[in-house]
């Protein structure tokens, strides 16, 4: 949980921070969600900021 939170926030900076923290609850899904979200974010939103 502690590792998942910072890693997710670092990967999705301000993009899916809220969802990331909530999804982080499940460490098993966390790993897959982080990878999936990272690719989807880059394809869907290359640079929101």
Look at residue 32 and tell me if it is in a domain.
Answer: yes
Residue 1 is predicted with a pLDDT of 45
Look at residue 49 and tell me if it is in a domain.
Answer: no
Look at residue 23 and tell me if it is in a domain.
Answer: yes
Look at residue 13 and tell me if it is in a domain.
Answer: yes
**Containing domain of residue 36, as a range?**
4-44
Average pLDDT per run of 10 along the chain, which is 49 residues long? 47 46 47 54 51
Q: Number of structural domains, the chain?
A: 1
Look at residue 36 and tell me if it is in a domain.
Answer: yes
Which residues have a Cβ under 8 Å from the Cβ of 14 and sit 6 or more positions away?
48, 49
Residue 29 is predicted with a pLDDT of 47
φ/ψ bin of 45: left (φ > 0), alpha (ψ from -120 to 50), beta (otherwise): beta
Q: What is the pTM of this model?
A: 0.14
């Amino acid at each position: 949980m502690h590792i998942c939170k910072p890693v997710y926030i670092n990967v999705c900076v301000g993009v899916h921070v809220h969802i990331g923290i909530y999804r982080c609850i499940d460490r098993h899904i966390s790993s897959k969600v982080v990878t999936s979200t990272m690719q989807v974010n880059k394809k869907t939103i290359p640079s929101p900021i």
